[in-house]
Amino acid sequence: MMHDSKSIFVPPRREDIRKTGAIYQENLPRFDWKCALPVLTKTLLIHNCGTEQHFSISDAHHPEKPERVAKILRELKKSGLRSRCKVVGSRRLATEAELELVHERPYIQKMKRTVEMSDNQLRTTEDGLDSIFLTRDTFAIARRAVGSVLECVDRVLSVAVGELNAFAVIRPPGHHAGISAPSGFCIFNNVAIATKYAIDKYNVRRILIFDWDVHHGNGTQQIFYEDDRVLYMSVHRHDNGDFYPVDQPKDYIDVGKGTGKGYSLNLPWNHSRIGDEAYRAAFAKVIMPIAYEFNPELVFISAGFDAAAGDPLGQYMVSPDTFALMTYQLTALSGGRIIAVLEGGYNLDMMAKCAAAVCRVMVDGGTRRVMESEGSGDLKFQSRLHRGVWDSIRGVATVHEQYWKCLRGFQKKRLYVGKWRVKRLKLRNALRRRCR
């Protein structure tokens, strides 16, 4: 069944097509590349206090460590961005009722009991969980992480459209946490709870969650798998199912269930050397067209930076400029009401640079430096696109065209992949015709 939307995507005329990173934007609506929106009044930069008390006692080199938040905040101060934001060190603790918007009560009570556990009891509890470490302060710090994102929602939705956006630099991350269990360094699902909070308190009807963390947000998808008010989109490393989280529904055929069919979109990468080109192609061809058709009233970014170059877990090669460009395009949605929430990212230097690039877009309202520097080396860029990238994009388009009007006939459209590739395809097709 095709989704009903007030905003139907209409491709631009050929003469109006702009290009960015040499991906031809046939599928993107027209808007001024120099600045998608007027400069916003303010960007809220919020971080949860006390994160240094949540750490792995048994592994001093654990990648999800307190230095992650501190490193980003130092980078934002060094770049001058911190002084241009409204900075809040949040001490708001999410209530148990707020946690129950998403999580089951027995699970919340299990986490609550860790406050009084001995070190040995904590280690035993950890052993029964999936990639989780605990201290006696973890429950409070995780509640404060959720509270920080709820505070972002309150502030962003309590002012006029276009006046405020927010960046939550928090930990522990959240997108792996499901309804009844934590996993993958995540205790409570920060973004999912904030999404339900926005729906219940502010009557927001359509929310987009875009997850660019290199790991699939299996917890977030599980929570909204049957919900047509939330469009969950994830671009992630898949490796044909062998990349974490393993044995989870995260391929492009996993589209949702019941009324939520078509509202879970997974773009899985099965090629090991993925970088800027793949992410920009995905945005041009499927992500932004569907996002415009959905027409969200609020956008969350699950902003993990473990797809960035040099990350020890993700091992991809995405640059800060591409994270900036993705943020820039998303700011054209929902009147600029956008909340970015830190997820993964374990190369501290690169993670901080990527976070600063995202914050700069949110503060400035556009990516002038990125956009003006593009345009050279077009064929070189296009020729680096691996066939597996197009296979993933076409797979998503094929499965989702029954749900989204903007993808109708996608397979029939010519995808520009460079002159050398076009010539090779023509030669191959000619040889095939001769052999018939």
Vertex 221: Cα angle to 273 and 241 (nearest 5) = 40
Please indicate, yes or no, if residue 3 is contained in any of the structural domains: no
What's the mean pLDDT in 163-168? 94
Please indicate, yes or no, if residue 6 is contained in any of the structural domains: no
For the chain, give percent helix, strand, coil, nearest 5: 45, 15, 45
19-23, 36-40, 250-254, 429-433: the lowest-pLDDT one = 19-23
> Which 8-state DSSP code applies to residue 75?
H
pLDDT at 430: 61
Q: Tell me the pLDDT tens digit for each residue of 270-320.
A: 987 899 999 999 999 999 999 999 999 999 999 999 999 999 999 999 999
Please indicate, yes or no, if residue 135 is contained in any of the structural domains: yes
Residue-range definition of the domain harbouring residue 159 = 14-435
174-178, 334-338, 384-388: the lowest-pLDDT one = 384-388
pLDDT at 373: 46
pTM across the whole model? 0.85
pLDDT at 375: 42
Split at pLDDT 50, 70, 90, the class of 16 is very low
pLDDT at 259: 97
Q: Catalytic residues, which ones?
A: 176
Cα–Cα distance for residue pair 287/284, rounded to 1 Å: 7
Q: Are 376 and 343 in contact (CB under 8 A)?
A: no
Please indicate, yes or no, if residue 234 is contained in any of the structural domains: yes
Residue type, 127: D
Please indicate, yes or no, if residue 7 is contained in any of the structural domains: no
Residue with tokens 């640059």: 319
Which contiguous run of DSSP H or E holds residue 151? helix 138-157
Please indicate, yes or no, if residue 236 is contained in any of the structural domains: yes
Higher pLDDT residue, 432 or 20?
Answer: 432
Two structure tokens written together for 260 = 């939520």
pLDDT at 288: 97
pLDDT at 272: 77
> Which 8-state DSSP code applies to residue 52?
G
Q: Are 272 and 314 in contact (CB under 8 A)?
A: no
Cα–Cα distance for residue pair 205/82, rounded to 1 Å: 32
pLDDT at 38 > cutoff 60: no
Split at pLDDT 50, 70, 90, the class of 409 is confident
pLDDT at 160 > cutoff 60: yes
* Average pLDDT over the chain, rounded to an integer: 86
What's the mean pLDDT in 79-100? 96
Please indicate, yes or no, if residue 2 is contained in any of the structural domains: no
Residue with tokens 């006939």: 409
Cα–Cα distance for residue pair 386/388, rounded to 1 Å: 5
Split at pLDDT 50, 70, 90, the class of 431 is low
pLDDT at 24 > cutoff 70: no
Q: Tell me the pLDDT tens digit for each residue of 206-237.
A: 999 999 999 999 999 999 999 999 999 999 99
pLDDT at 45: 98
pLDDT at 385: 77
What's the mean pLDDT in 40-44? 78
Cα–Cα distance for residue pair 138/187, rounded to 1 Å: 8
Split at pLDDT 50, 70, 90, the class of 99 is very high
Q: Which CATH number goes with the domain that contains 211?
A: 3.40.800.20
pLDDT at 114 > cutoff 50: yes
Task: Spell out a b/e string for 235-274, using b for 16 or more CB atoms within 10 Å of the CB, else e.
Answer: bbbbeeeebbbeebbbbbebbbeeebbbbbbbbbbbeeeb
Three-state secondary structure call for residue 381: helix
What's the mean pLDDT in 150-158? 96
| Listed residue (133, 145, 249, 262) closest to 192, CA to CA | 145
pLDDT at 404 > cutoff 70: yes
What's the mean pLDDT in 394-407? 95
Three-state secondary structure call for residue 116: helix
Cα–Cα distance for residue pair 219/170, rounded to 1 Å: 18
**Domain tally, the chain:** 1
pLDDT at 378 > cutoff 90: no
Distances (CA, A) of 112 to 64, 95, 348: 21, 12, 30
72-76, 275-279, 406-410: the lowest-pLDDT one = 406-410
pLDDT at 31 > cutoff 60: no
Please indicate, yes or no, if residue 219 is contained in any of the structural domains: yes
Distance of CA 127 to the CA centre of its chain: 29
Split at pLDDT 50, 70, 90, the class of 149 is very high
pLDDT at 392 > cutoff 70: yes
